[in-house]
A and B are shown apart, each in its own frame.
Chain A
Amino acid sequence: MQSKSLEILVGFFVSLTIAALFFLALQVSNFSALQDNGSYTINAHFDNAGGLKAKSLVSMAGVTIGRVTAVSFDAKNYDALITMRIDSRYNNLPSDTSASILTSGLLGDKFVGLTPGGLDEYLQDGDSIELTQSALVLERLISQFLFNSSND
């Protein structure tokens, strides 16, 4: 009897802590998002990656459809090569889709925004996006503004 109630208490303890692990997985982390559907890779060259990092979001129409997996320097073209994985639910992006690096809010994280094109061909695994627009660098914008206003 004594050992039975002890076993019940240990059982409660273990199941409570496993419930806590499920809580962490489902409620706290991104475990549920982008997990089961598989994904495909596309590349894009940018003149300036401006603070984009691996794991930044890739979104279209404001909805997250993928994540950036790597940001690297392309020594051949002297520009930034961005690799991203797109959820394979969204495998019908037109091949002339354009990509731009945007900022969420004034000081928020950088993310890649995709704008759909009009072609009937779709982007495949390993394709590159040709039309890209670099990150808006705030310092450059301010210096341009100051330079222009001093000319007036």
Chain B
Amino acid sequence: MNIFQTIGQSTLNSLAKLGRANLFFISILVNSSYLLKRPHLLIKQIYSLGVLTFWLICIAGLFVGMVLGLQGVYTLSTFGAESSLGIMVAASLVRELGPVVSALLFAGRAGSALTAEIGLMKATEQLSGMEMMAIDPLKYIIAPRFFAGFISLPLLATFFSAIGIIGGYLAGVELLNVDAGAYWSQMQSSIDFNDDIINGIIKSIIFAWLISWIALFEGYDAHPTSEGISRATTRTVVNSAFAILLFDFLLTALMFGAN
């Protein structure tokens, strides 16, 4: 009987948590119009979530692109097809690696910070204090952070893909002497703007929504103790990574599965 009780309890708990997460998301949307009156709240958060993650994305994108270039030449040269390097680098970056790797980095760098910040605000009763002063923390604290994450990640993912393609150029063309004209022209002839680049951006928009939602909710829902905050931060990174990879599979199957 104990086993069934445990199963039932954990099912009910996770359903209740899912319900709270949905209510939380709806109340963010309801309170979002406040940002139009106070845009500087949003800009400040775009700075701390987007601009401060920018260098990480630059360096990671450059190295991922360079590794793709090196490995691509290594594999393709066995078929004598080094000239297709551009397609390989650009397609894998724009469709998959750009959105996914930048989302994973964003979850680790910005998502965990969001959870810790909101969790600590809750633990030190700053959120309750705001409510006491008739300032809705959802309007003033949560909504700006949600939309800043939602805006920042697609921009970062776009930049990741672009700098990765340049990294692939550096490794493949400058280092290993693949023809530069073949690199760019093969890329241009097989990458489609709507099918590849726009779909990649749609992916990163969905990842941005997932990460911001998970990170803020975990912080808002954390036990207000130091242990609770550390657990919430861990859950943010782990759950975001799971959600990103799961949704990446589903979106890839939807977008590119047909052909």
- Please state if B165 and A17 are interface contacts (CB–CB under 8 Å): no
- A-B pair count, CB < 8 Å, reads 75
- Please state if B44 and A23 are interface contacts (CB–CB under 8 Å): no
Could you tell me the distance in whole angstroms from the C-beta of A125 to the nearest C-beta in chain B?
23
Asked if B46 is at the interface of the complex by the 8 Å CB criterion, the answer is: yes
Could you tell me the distance in whole angstroms from the C-beta of A23 to the nearest C-beta in chain B?
5
Partner of B50 from the list A10, A20, A54 (CB cut-off 8 Å) is A10
Asked if A79 is at the interface of the complex by the 8 Å CB criterion, the answer is: no
- Please state if A29 and B191 are interface contacts (CB–CB under 8 Å): yes
- Please state if B158 and A17 are interface contacts (CB–CB under 8 Å): yes
Q: Mark B177-217, 1 if CB is under 8 A from A, else 0.
A: 00000001001110111001100000000000000000000
Roughly how many angstroms separate A29 CA and B198 CA in the complex, as a whole number? 11
Partner of A13 from the list B155, B196, B197 (CB cut-off 8 Å) is B155
Report A-chain residues with C-beta under 8 Å of the C-beta of B159: 16-17, 20
- Please state if B162 and A13 are interface contacts (CB–CB under 8 Å): no
Could you tell me the distance in whole angstroms from the C-beta of A99 to the nearest C-beta in chain B?
20
Q: Which B residues, 148 to 162, have Cβ-Cβ distances below 8 Å to chain A?
A: 155-156, 158-159, 161-162
Report A-chain residues with C-beta under 8 Å of the C-beta of B50: 10, 13
Report A-chain residues with C-beta under 8 Å of the C-beta of B155: 13-14, 17-18
Known contacts A20-B162, A57-B189; A10 and B43 CB within 8 A of each other: yes
Taking CB as reference atom, which chain B residue is nearest A13?
Answer: B51
- Please state if B51 and A30 are interface contacts (CB–CB under 8 Å): no
Query: At the interface, is chain A mostly helix, strand, loop or mixed?
Result: helix
Could you tell me the distance in whole angstroms from the C-beta of A19 to the nearest C-beta in chain B?
8
Report B-chain residues with C-beta under 8 Å of the C-beta of A89: none
Residue tally, chain B, CB below 8 Å to A: 28
Report B-chain residues with C-beta under 8 Å of the C-beta of A21: 158, 162, 197
- Please state if A28 and B46 are interface contacts (CB–CB under 8 Å): no
- Please state if A6 and B162 are interface contacts (CB–CB under 8 Å): no
Report A-chain residues with C-beta under 8 Å of the C-beta of B222: none
Partner of B192 from the list A10, A55, A57 (CB cut-off 8 Å) is A55
Asked if B40 is at the interface of the complex by the 8 Å CB criterion, the answer is: yes
- Please state if B187 and A10 are interface contacts (CB–CB under 8 Å): no
Q: List 19 A-B contacts (CB under 8 A).
A: A7-B40, A9-B47, A10-B43, A13-B50, A14-B155, A16-B54, A17-B159, A20-B158, A21-B158, A24-B165, A24-B197, A25-B193, A28-B90, A28-B191, A30-B188, A30-B189, A30-B192, A53-B259, A55-B192
